[in-house]
Homo-oligomer: A and B are copies of this chain.
């Protein structure tokens, strides 16, 4: 059998590593360069992805389209593909709520395509065992097969459409939710003038926590702009299950408070100060 042609939207840091994993599995991967940055162009070339000019050109020749984008763009990306009459398989691998994933499924199926629900756990897949792609729903096998022998592990879930998105939401609910809580606690301690006392107590009774909090504070601001949309999706997932959504509404406020530090040199103290300027209105 001939290998499918895969269209990748878009080759960001994570997306390009997904494209590289498909290439390792043998299929050709194309991407649409219209409106993308020079950095994206370089990254895609480095991962052996084939450039086409426009989204229309990508949709025309792709058997499978894979969406890897910020959570708040997932519906728009799907709509633009469906509007071009895409009739193949569309895999959304984004960090969105199960209800959002079902919404994207509706957009794709109305346009004549077949939908596969996905979610990625871990950093960009650049070494073995660090990153897993969860897939669910009919058609998952055809997407899973693309990654045979690649650095991206694939786990197909039984739960039906939305299960992979639910897994991603639950996983990130802890990792990114607890990171936001930890930042907020450090900011509170700083605001109350007892930060060093808290760190001394942590070093006695919560080993590793002060290091983790410092690490989160220095590494998070660059990514915070993406995380706030993900926190909204997680909060919606909790509310839909009849669980409290306040943890992740607060985490959204924390990441929004940190977003202004993006692409700026910033210190741990600046990160905490940015939080103290966050409105406590949730």
A interface residues (Cβ-Cβ under 8 A, vs B): 98, 121-122, 129, 132, 134, 155, 157, 159, 162-163, 166-167, 169-171, 173-175, 177-178, 180-182, 184-185, 187-189, 191-194, 197-198, 201-202, 204-206, 209, 237-239, 241-247, 249-251, 253-254, 275-282
Contacts and interface: CB of A to CB of B under 8 A. Distances in A.
A263 to B, nearest CB: 24
12 contacts: A157-B197, A163-B193, A163-B194, A170-B185, A171-B202, A177-B185, A187-B241, A188-B241, A192-B237, A244-B253, A244-B254, A245-B280
A259 to B, nearest CB: 14
A242 B178 contact: no
Give the number of times this chain occurs in the complex, counting copies.
2
A242 B191 contact: yes
B166 A247 contact: no
Of A170, A209, A249, A277, most buried by chain B (CB within 10 Å of CB) is A170
A192 B166 contact: yes
A217 to B, nearest CB: 14
Given A121-B201, A206-B174, A276 B245 contact: no
Given A163-B192, A166-B192, A197-B157, A242 B280 contact: yes
B247 A184 contact: yes
Contacts of A166: 188-189, 192-194
Contacts of A178: 178, 181-182
Contacts of A188: 166, 169-170, 173, 237-238, 241, 243
